[in-house]
Structure 1
Amino acid sequence: MASLPPASGAQRTLALSNFVYTVGSGLYLTAGVLYFTEDRHLPASQVGLGLGIAGLLSLAAGIAAGIAVGHLADRYGARGVYMGTLAVQALATAGFVRADGFWPFVVAVASAMAAKGAGNAARGPLIRHYGGDRPQAFRGYLRAVTNVGISLGAVLAGWAVQVGTHDAYRVLVLGNALAFVASAALLLLLPPVAPRPAADGPRWIALRDRPYLALTLLDGVMAIQFRVLTVAVPLWLVVATTAPHWLISGTMLVNTVIVVACQVRASRNIDTPTAGAVAYRRSGVAFLLACVIISLSAGVPAWAAAVLLLSAVVVHTIGELWHSAAGFEISFALAPPLATGQYLGVFGLGAGLAEAVGPTLLISLCVTWGRPGWYVVGALFVLAGLAAPLTVRWAQRRHADMAITSSETPSVEGATAPTPG
């Protein structure tokens, strides 16, 4: 990280805002499920169901809100729109302390998830504008910064879980909300991005790009892997293994240290959609292997369970590096510059899909069913990874056809974006 600092002051500001944001996120990602089960006293089955319902609600909202917010960021300036989504996310997260029942919990989590998805769409034009020649590489740097913040949040979350008191858990939640506020305030130091003119043709061009939509779906299936370490592993560790509970924070720290050290390097050679497709395929294989190793940690001594879980986290994280780098490259490379926010709003629906079905799927298969469920989840990742290269080739053929059509059709001042078919 020290050898790869952001090149400009705007990049440093965006990275600092991202760091503060992810310190708060690390608090919730590490211990959010345990907060609702241990402090709010919601059964694990209700938490899984509630997260699934909240994910579906936020996904439904994201189909309209995420794409619309990305479009607003393109047309009216990304900085102000992104700050607005951070404010909504802070309010929704603070509402967790009032989630004393199932439906208040669902409403609060759904609101936070919808605001997060909209914020990712609004942030896309900022990354593209300030990312230099390869915004995908800057996105990789931001992900490394993200994991520095998450690692710090994980340490603080480990303290809250170890103390286990109502006040400790409340500090965890309110600290997350305050981090979002501070992140938004730092963006005031960032020069605003000038709005981009609207492209000729249909307004919602991203929704007409069928290969991009297919890649969004595949990435959404792969993105369920992000919930493996934050939902499935903590519950599996507590319910099915004899490993010490503090290892929950340990697994997150191992994951984040590897990402911080290796994400920029892992992204370096994934600089074309074809390379991204290969990375998707490799990540699917890695996720399957990690799922198998995790399943073997049940019914063994505590030391063996700890070794197996940590080994699985290392393998899983290698897959995560490939998956993230592939998503960075494909989502940006196949998005026209005049509609970056709109396209990334669509691509973010994949993450919304993972948020919607991931927790319920993982808890039902991996925790409730047990060892066979881990094999099913691993097979799902492999199938999605194998489908990615075929879908990327489809997208490349489609974009090549559009480029030919665009070259044969006169454009206004050379700024007309092709309309995906």
Structure 2
Amino acid sequence: MTAPNRSRPASRPWVVVVHDTATTLRPADPVAAALTTSAMAASFSNGVFYTVSALFFTRVVGLGVGQVGLGLTVAGAVAIAASFVAGHTADRIGAPAVLVTTTASQGLALLAYPTTATLTTFTLVACLAVASKAAQGTARAAVLAHAFTGADRVLVRARLGVVINVFTGVGTVCGGLALLADTKVGYILAILGSGSSVLISIWPLLAIRGQLTARARDDEAYAAMPASHSGPSPLHDRCYLAVSGLNALLAMHAGLLTVGVPLWITEHTSAPTITVTLVLLLNTALVVVIQTPMARRIHGIRRSARAVHLAGLTLALACLVYSASAVTSSTVAVVMLLSAAVLHTLGEVTAEIGSWGLAFDFAPTSSAGAYQGVNHASVAAGAMLAPLVITTTALTHGAIGWLVLAAIFISAGTATLLVVRGRQLPQGVTTGVR
């Protein structure tokens, strides 16, 4: 297998940053390059969609806020199942085929949103769109599991994360143009542009199947691999199931940032509303800067487990600082919220890198799809649970609620470390454990 370039020039910091950026945006490995190019278009689509979707659903489609929430909740539940099914399907027909198919179905679903006029049609289209996106995550992880080994899997995934953040930001800015226009036509064009961008992202993915086939012929480990459907099932791997379940709790950090923190700032602190934008921009910038360097340092099962443990502690500390921001002056509140955002981002990046490492390193290559399906189902579950958990804890009960959230993060991180400790690699895993 072709390993991605992990070396950096020993020079001034700005030279290192430029080198890392160039390597991230234009990787030498053909599989990584295809995934990166596709991620640019798909993430641009996400940014546009996230920006305009709420107003599109309420003002153009004509749904109530409660109806939108109900439809998306149902779609989130379907996405959990889709993540799992996509993994098993990837092991049978190949991860590249699943990735292309689910990307196409998501793009078509987005294009269908303007045709929805009732709660039923909206929910059906939302189920297809959200489930397809969740299945893509599983298929992409399975591709990485087959194309790379050891620490390179996490490094490539981290670089993809940087690309996703950058181009989601670009899409957000472009989606803002539709908000400025604030017209029905503008919102419809934004949604159609989002769907078209997803369909464009399919083109680079078409070459991946051939690349993996070529590597299989050249790699002795691949040549000796048993038939894809004959690998062990993750449903019989209690350690993996436990780690994935705990990951669902840690994965709520994303919902905390996008749902909990904005509502906390505007309803419970004296900080100006613009602080919401500052927090989100700070998070995006920090992820872009630190994710790849941290991925180089977190590899192997032991380090990944320790990273998840540390992430739980860091996220808990962020919760405490968020909580304290409610009882200070406006200026101090802004400083505390930005400080909490830094801690939150450090916890987010550390949790993601650690969980990627565990998900890859514990999964036999012959069952990569099924194992990644379980892992991504846990992420989807966390995304579905986050709004409910956050609103019923921090946003309802203030400081006590924040303490509950902090306890959840600490418990999930600590339990992950305890579960992983002493765990033996399953047969068929091809990774370097440090």
Shorter-chain TM range is 0.7 to 0.9
Which of residues 191, 205, 214 in structure 2 aligns to 1:187? 205
Change (3 A) 1:164 1:242: farther
1:16 is matched with which residue?
37
Root mean square deviation of aligned Cα: 3.1
1:3 is matched with which residue?
19
1:89 is matched with which residue?
106
Which of residues 330, 340, 347 in structure 2 aligns to 1:312? 340
Letter in 2 for 1:146: I
Letter in 2 for 1:80: A
Which of residues 279, 284, 297 in structure 2 aligns to 1:256? 284
TM-score, length-scaled by structure 1: 0.82
Kindly report which structure 2 residues correspond to 1:10-409, keeping only aligned pairs within 5 A, or say none. 10-29=31-50, 32=53, 36=57, 47-48=68-69, 50-59=71-80, 61-62=81-82, 66-97=83-114, 102-131=119-148, 134-161=152-179, 164-190=182-208, 192=210, 193-194=212-213, 198-199=226-227, 205-241=233-269, 243-298=271-326, 302-393=330-421, 396-397=423-424, 399=425
Displacement of 1:280: 0.9
Query: Unaligned regions of 5+ residues in structure 1, if any?
Result: 404-414
Separation in 2, partners of 1:377, 1:360: 12
Change (3 A) 1:74 1:241: same
118-127 or 381-390, larger mean C-alpha shift: 118-127
Letter in 1 for 2:130: M
Letter in 1 for 2:96: R
Displacement of 1:118: 1.3
Displacement of 1:261: 0.9
- Checking the alignment, whether the CA contact within 8 Å between 2:254 and 2:383 is kept in structure 1 is no
Query: Unaligned regions of 5+ residues in structure 2, if any?
Result: 1-16, 217-221
Question: Secondary structure in 2 aligned to 1:335?
Answer: coil
Change (3 A) 1:107 1:239: farther
Change (3 A) 1:372 1:90: farther
Corresponding pairs, count? 398
Change (3 A) 1:248 1:94: farther
Question: Could you report, residue by residue, the CA deviation over 1:281-333 in whole angstroms, capped at 9, with x for unpaired residues?
Answer: 11111112222222344475554444333222211000011001101111111
Displacement of 1:47: 5.0
Change (3 A) 1:343 1:111: same
Change (3 A) 1:360 1:267: same
Question: Could you report, residue by residue, the CA deviation over 1:62-108 in whole angstroms, capped at 9, with x for unpaired residues?
Answer: 3xxx3332233233332222011011112333444456565555444
Letter in 2 for 1:207: L
Separation in 1, partners of 2:209, 2:230: 30
Separation in 2, partners of 1:381, 1:343: 23
Letter in 2 for 1:14: L
- Checking the alignment, whether the CA contact within 8 Å between 1:155 and 1:249 is kept in structure 2 is no
- Checking the alignment, whether the CA contact within 8 Å between 2:92 and 2:229 is kept in structure 1 is no
Separation in 1, partners of 2:189, 2:69: 23
- Checking the alignment, whether the CA contact within 8 Å between 2:110 and 2:191 is kept in structure 1 is yes
Change (3 A) 1:10 1:58: closer
Change (3 A) 1:189 1:263: same
- Checking the alignment, whether the CA contact within 8 Å between 2:393 and 2:401 is kept in structure 1 is yes
Separation in 1, partners of 2:55, 2:132: 22
378-387 or 190-199, larger mean C-alpha shift: 190-199
Change (3 A) 1:102 1:225: farther
Separation in 1, partners of 2:70, 2:399: 21
323-332 or 238-247, larger mean C-alpha shift: 238-247
Displacement of 1:386: 1.0
Separation in 2, partners of 1:159, 1:233: 24
- Checking the alignment, whether the CA contact within 8 Å between 1:52 and 1:358 is kept in structure 2 is no
Displacement of 1:161: 4.7
- Checking the alignment, whether the CA contact within 8 Å between 2:365 and 2:429 is kept in structure 1 is no
Question: Secondary structure in 2 aligned to 1:3?
Answer: helix
- Checking the alignment, whether the CA contact within 8 Å between 1:10 and 1:191 is kept in structure 2 is no
Question: Secondary structure in 2 aligned to 1:391?
Answer: helix
